[in-house]
A and B are shown apart, each in its own frame.
Chain A
Amino acid sequence: GAVVSQHPSRVICKSGTSVKIECRSLDFQATTMFWYRQFPKQSLMLMATSNEGSKATYEQGVEKDKFLINHASLTLSTLTVTSAHPEDSSFYICSAAEGPEKLFFGSGTQLSVL
């Protein structure tokens, strides 16, 4: 089946630094990608919907200036956590839509901010 590659799988950074997470669709073009976040013992929550060539749509409560999303090509979307703080430590996962009801997920990124 289709594969979505997410990198890195784990990152540890110092408070105040920025971290970039990449999400690539390896064998299909994805006009839409989604970014989710999961805090411990909570649900995977949709953060934003990323459309190729246009601005991302953020869910309520998600700071667009803190979580920068770039979907510059049909196979790549990036999420940059700017000026990360310990409260941003979480599991981030992306998904890419090959078509209606054809959604594929990356393996996730565990971010730890010290």
Chain B
Amino acid sequence: GDSVTQMEGPVTLSEEAFLTINCTYTATGYPSLFWYVQYPGEGLQLLLKATKADDKGSNKGFEATYRKETTSFHLEKGSVQVSDSAVYFCALSHTGNQFYFGTGTSLTVIP
């Protein structure tokens, strides 16, 4: 069945460091891929998405490229800020409503 595997955390970075959170998936067909972010005390929020191979999703300085050949959707940001501290979830969906999530990766950015 469909599944998502993402790197375990927690991840701790200094401000302005480069961030990569790895995500790979297993799926039938061609799902859409997503990154969600959960800030402390809040619900999951859509960060970015890509709907087909080679698409790049981007938002707030974060980027992820849908790589069909490696079944990956790694999240990157060139320079993280303290305000980026949150839990990041990689996910896939065929329908746009029913999702398969990874385990979540907790990121802490220290000044």
Do A and B form a real pair? yes
Partner-B contacts on A (CB < 8 A) = 1, 4, 6, 9, 32, 34, 36, 38, 41-46, 49, 93, 95, 97, 100-101, 103-108
Residues of B within 8 A of A95 (CB): 44, 99
Whether B42 and A43, one on each chain, are in contact in the complex, defined by CB atoms closer than 8 angstroms, is: no
* Known pairs A6-B43, A43-B103 / 7 extra A-B pairs, C-beta < 8 Å: A43-B100, A43-B102, A43-B104, A44-B104, A95-B44, A95-B99, A105-B36
Residues of A within 8 A of B38 (CB): 105, 107-108
Contact with A along B1-27 (1 / 0, CB 8 A): 001100010000000000000000000
Closest A residue by C-beta to B41? A107
Q: Which of B4, B36, B44, B99 contacts A46 (CB 8 A)?
A: B99
Number of B interface residues in the complex (CB < 8 A)? 22
Closest A residue by C-beta to B36? A105
In Å, the complex CA distance between A106 and B38 comes to: 10
Whether A34 and B97, one on each chain, are in contact in the complex, defined by CB atoms closer than 8 angstroms, is: yes
In Å, the complex CA distance between A34 and B4 comes to: 18
Whether A106 and B96, one on each chain, are in contact in the complex, defined by CB atoms closer than 8 angstroms, is: no
Residues of A within 8 A of B102 (CB): 43
Residues of A within 8 A of B8 (CB): 41
Known: A42-B103, A43-B4, A43-B102. A107 touches B43 (CB 8 A): yes
In Å, the complex CA distance between A42 and B99 comes to: 15
Known: A41-B8, A41-B103, A105-B36. A46 touches B43 (CB 8 A): no
Residues of A within 8 A of B35 (CB): none
Whether A105 and B44, one on each chain, are in contact in the complex, defined by CB atoms closer than 8 angstroms, is: yes
CB distance from A8 to the nearest CB of B (A): 13
Whether A44 and B43, one on each chain, are in contact in the complex, defined by CB atoms closer than 8 angstroms, is: no
Whether A106 and B43, one on each chain, are in contact in the complex, defined by CB atoms closer than 8 angstroms, is: yes
Whether B98 and A46, one on each chain, are in contact in the complex, defined by CB atoms closer than 8 angstroms, is: yes
Whether B96 and A103, one on each chain, are in contact in the complex, defined by CB atoms closer than 8 angstroms, is: yes
Closest A residue by C-beta to B95? A100
